[in-house]
A and B are shown apart, each in its own frame.
Chain A
Amino acid sequence: MSIVVKEVSKTFGRFVALDKVSLEVPEGTLVALLGPSGSGKTTLLRIIAGLELPDSGTVLHQDVDITHQSARDRKVGFVFQHYALFRHMTVAENIGYGLRVRKAPKAKIRARVGELLRLIRLEGLEDRYPGQLSGGQRQRVALARALAAEPSVLLLDEPFGALDAKVRQELRQWLRKLHQEINVTSVFVTHDQEEAFEVADHVVVMNHGKIEQIGTPAEVFEHPANAFVMDFLGNVNVFPGRLESGKAVVSGLEVDYPSYTHAEAQDTVAYVRPHELVLQNQRESDASIQARVLHVNPTGSRIKVELRVLDSDQVINAELTTERFTELALRTGDVVYVSPSRVRIFTADYSI
């Protein structure tokens, strides 16, 4: 079931959680609401679920206006951040609860619970109590409970936040696979960019109650719509510069910038990703700046190099492949020449 959110606003006292937010979630997709705390992503999720009521705007499930329907009546499965498992019920009773309150026959409940236990791979634990399970197990039970009554929409509130890194990793992949199997429209909230990218089909980047950008992970990463998105997703180096007619001058380097046609110069900020910085041992072009290597961090498949720009004392981060690093034979204290392969500048749109 698709979800359409139109111009939804919500204020708590004087704090504006959501400001005329509109969003479309196509049927069957897995969408991540990504943003820092206070961005409104959890509020938006809860409004879709019916656990909060918006001050204005509408929410549609498959083109039916359910804005004023209670959470009970929407066919939504919600997974709470801290699972909210019923502590006095066994795993089986927890999972079967949604069917039990709908007065489904006992046999049907038992069958469905068994099915879900197999799905979440916790067969044999049906008579345990939530207090006897690990965090990851509880999470899976919470998920199964939400799925039991065959909801048309699955909503998850920071589902893996409270778990350790390894369990998080496993569950992320597991959620992805689950979604491929079941294909129910799903929306989940996270502040972890890596998680959003790994799991979701589409990413909705939010900030201060507004949506900054919607797109696939590749889209938002490679083509960020504004400075916030660029900065929030992944590491980024920020260089001060100036915009002049037709070009931009960043850290002494000139770059073509035809979109800026105004006569007056203007201060600006340029963003360069770590892997978009090219390092060389000798000055091979005019468009490069000198920097001294401060620290080499050989994590994983790429080497992270921390450098200090000689002229401005600014600390920048570069990322190299292992081969390139070996080629350059860099050591702490070496002076290298840095040039960007790609620079992004975001200007406000002057046209009204």
Chain B
Amino acid sequence: MTAKTPRAAGARRSQQDPAWVRWTLTAAALLTVGVLVGVPVVNVFYEALKEGLGTYVQNLFFDPDTRQAIVLTLTVVPIALAANIIFGVVAAWAIARFRFPGRSLLTALIDLPFSVSPVVAGLMFVLIFGLQGYLGPFLRRDGYAVMPYLISLLGVLVLSGVYVFLRPKQPKATLVRWRHPFLVVSVGSVAVFAVLFALQQHFAVWPKNASLKIIFNTPGLVLATAFVTFPFVARELIPVMEAIGADEDLAAVSLGATGWQMFWDVTVPNIKWGLVYGIILCNARAMGEFGAVYVVSGHIAGQTDTMPLRIEKLFQEYNLPGSFAVASLLTLLAILTLIAKTKLETKVPSLANLSRKRPAVGEAAKS
């Protein structure tokens, strides 16, 4: 979202602000940005390295809790990211390519996490999965009981998906199993589900009567992070897909491509940059998420602290160099994100404009 080169800055513009105005305003602007943004950035690195490079490295890599926080962040974020990328692509396809009743409602729902304060987001998950929550007692008593169902369902969905996408269609379909998709899917689902379920019970894959902790544990962190960041990819892809138009996808279909082929050969290459842009934004947000994760994590140092939480904990312990050390990593990430973002916007100018069309109603209520 960088500004275009000022149209006729100075040269052609016949109406110019007098020089003193220009100088004052520019100075004021630079002062503002400097004090609000520039000085803080420099300060982060200064404070982190204040006590020497050795202490810096020690703080980051030799403090087991900090190390663990870094590892945890690097575990939670990719999972949330992957889930949201899949959702983003799928939702963008449904919304950008088709018209159906409820479409605007769906689009508005996707923007929802943006208008929810992160603390409230975390609270909602605690309400469901926490010990005092709706599912709390069940999860504590015999939490793993739900896993066979989930896994069997997952298996059914995956196999159905494979079947639906890869079966040969009309002319080549000779065997019965290809000709009656509904029948095969219904019967097959039940069969697959039963088989998977029985197998899991037989081999006692899941512990019985054991507590499945979601809140105050990694799954909760993933959920909270996924909630707060899932709009990013979708919001970026929907305008991109709408701008590109369905013609090429239609052309592929008319030439004989299956849905899968069309998707990989035509759709994905066309949305490539929009996707990357969305992922970059999503990633930056996910790594920096504080409020929602704070609520669901329980702050057990070494176990459920992500990097932002670790910063806070170190701050509470008056370990400022440590705190800033972790902060410096995240600041570095922010700077890299900005660079990547600017580069992409230069390469594909439309990206900045597209996300401007639905301005960051989004970014409201960040962590």
By a beta-carbon cutoff of 8 Å, the part of chain A in contact with chain B is 49-51, 69-73, 76-78, 80, 82, 84-89, 97-98, 101-102, 145-146, 149
In the complex the two chains form, what is the Cα distance from A77 to B256 in whole Å?
A: 10
Partner-contacting stretch, out of B149-157, B176-184, B262-270, B346-354: B262-270
Interface residues on chain B, number (Cβ under 8 Å)? 19
> Knowing that A78-B254, A101-B255, A145-B251 are A-B contacts, what are 7 other residue pairs whose CB atoms are under 8 Å apart, sorted by A's residue number?
A69-B170, A71-B250, A72-B254, A84-B247, A84-B250, A102-B256, A145-B255
Closest to A102 in B: B256
CB distance from A315 to the nearest CB of B (A): 43
By a CB distance below 8 angstroms, the chain A residues around B250 are 51, 71, 80, 84
Is B97's CB within 8 Å of the partner chain A?
A: no
In the bound complex, do residue B256 and residue A101 qualify as a contact, i.e. CB atoms below 8 Å apart? Answer: yes
Contact across chains for A97 and B253 when beta carbons are under 8 A apart: no
B residues in contact with A87, CB < 8 Å = 248, 270
Contact across chains for B255 and A97 when beta carbons are under 8 A apart: yes
Check if B266 sits within 8 Å of A71, measured CB to CB.
no
Q: Cβ of A149 and Cβ of B255 under 8 Å apart?
A: yes
Within 8 A of A (CB), among B250-285: 250-258, 261, 265-266, 269-270
- Tell me the smallest distance from the CB of A164 to a CB of chain B, in Å: 22
Chain B contact surface mostly: helix
* B101 interface residue per 8 A CB criterion: no
Contact A80 B252 (CB under 8 A): no
Kindly name the residue among B170, B255, B265, B270 whose own CB sees the greatest number of chain A CB atoms within 10 A: B255
How far is A350 from B171 in the complex, measured between Cα atoms in Å? Answer: 51
In the complex, A72 Cα to B258 Cα: how many Å?
8
| Given the contacts A80-B247, A82-B247, A86-B266, A71 and B254 also touching, CB distance less than 8 Å | yes
Give complex CA distance A72, B252 in Å: 9
Residues A97 and B252 in contact in the complex (CB < 8 Å), given A73-B169, A73-B170, A73-B171: yes
**A72 in contact with B247 (CB, 8 Å):** no
List residues of chain B with CB within 8 A of the CB of A80: 247, 250-251
Give, as a whole number of angstroms, the nearest-CB distance from B268 to chain A. 9
B257's nearest neighbour on chain A, judged by CB, is: A101
Residues in B143-188 with C-beta less than 8 Å from chain A:
169-171
Give min CB distance, A80 to chain B, whole Å: 6
Q: How far is the CA of A145 from the CA of B171 in the complex (A)?
A: 22
Give 12 CB contacts A-B under 8 Å.
Answer: A49-B254, A51-B250, A72-B169, A73-B170, A78-B251, A80-B247, A80-B251, A85-B248, A86-B265, A98-B256, A101-B256, A101-B265
Q: Could you say which residues of chain A place their CB within 8 Å of the CB of B261?
A: 101
* Bound form: Cα–Cα A82–B247 in Å: 8
B contact residues vs A (CB 8 Å cutoff): 169-171, 247-248, 250-258, 261, 265-266, 269-270
B residues less than 8 Å from A102 (CB atoms) = 256
Query: A88 near B255 (CB under 8 angstroms)?
Result: no
Residue of B nearest to A155 (CB): B254
* Chain A residues, CB < 8 A from B170: 69, 73
* 9 nearest CB pairs, A to B: A84-B247, A98-B255, A88-B269, A84-B251, A101-B257, A78-B254, A71-B254, A73-B170, A101-B256
CA–CA, A101 to B168, complex, Å? 13
Alpha-carbon separation in the docked complex, A78 to B261 (Å): 18
Contacts A73-B171, A86-B266, A101-B261 given; indicate if A51 touches B254 (C-beta within 8 A).
yes
* Distance, CA A98 to CA B171, complexed state (A): 17
- A73 — which chain B residues lie within 8 A by C-beta? 169-171
CA distance in complex: A49, B256 (Å): 12
Please report the C-alpha to C-alpha distance between residue A168 and residue B322 in the assembled complex, in whole angstroms.
71
Question: Please, which residues of chain A bring their CB within 8 A of the CB of B251?
Answer: 78, 80, 84-86, 145
Bound together, the chains give a CA A73 to CA B251 distance in angstroms of 13
Most chain A CB inside 10 Å of its own CB: which residue of B248, B254, B270: B254
- Distance of B248 from chain A, by nearest CB (Å): 5
Distance in angstroms from B276 CB to nearest chain A CB is: 14
Shortest B171–chain A CB gap in Å is 7
Which residues of chain B are within 8 angstroms of A85 by Cβ–Cβ distance?
248, 251
Q: Note all chain B residues with C-beta closer than 8 A to A72.
A: 169, 253-254, 256-258
- Please indicate the chain B residues that have their CB under 8 angstroms from the CB of A145 in the complex: 251, 255
A149 in contact with B256 (CB, 8 Å): yes
Which residues from A are CB-within-8-Å of B265? 86, 89, 97, 101
Question: Quick check: A86 and B253 within 8 Å, CB to CB?
Answer: no
Are the C-beta atoms of B248 and A70 separated by less than 8 Å? no
- A49 to B258, alpha carbons, bound, how many Å? 16
Bound CA–CA A86/B252 (angstroms): 9
Complex Cα spacing A15 to B251, Å: 26
Contact check, B248 vs A86: say whether CB atoms are below 8 A apart.
yes
Do A50 and B257 touch (CB < 8 A)? no
C-alpha gap A72/B251 in the complex (Å): 10
Closest CB in chain A relative to B203 CB, distance in Å = 40
| Contact partners of B270 in chain A: CB under 8 A | 87-88
Q: Report how far A80 CA is from B251 CA in the complex, Å.
A: 8
Bound Cα distance A102, B171 (Å) = 12
Residue of A nearest to B269 (CB): A88
A149 CA / B169 CA spacing, docked (Å): 18
Does B253 contact A71, Cβ atoms closer than 8 Å?
Answer: yes
B253 touches A70 (CB 8 A): yes
Residues of B within 8 Å of A76, CB to CB, are 254
Cα of A71 to Cα of B253 in the assembled complex, Å: 7
Closest to A78 in B: B254
CB nearest neighbor in B for A50:
B254
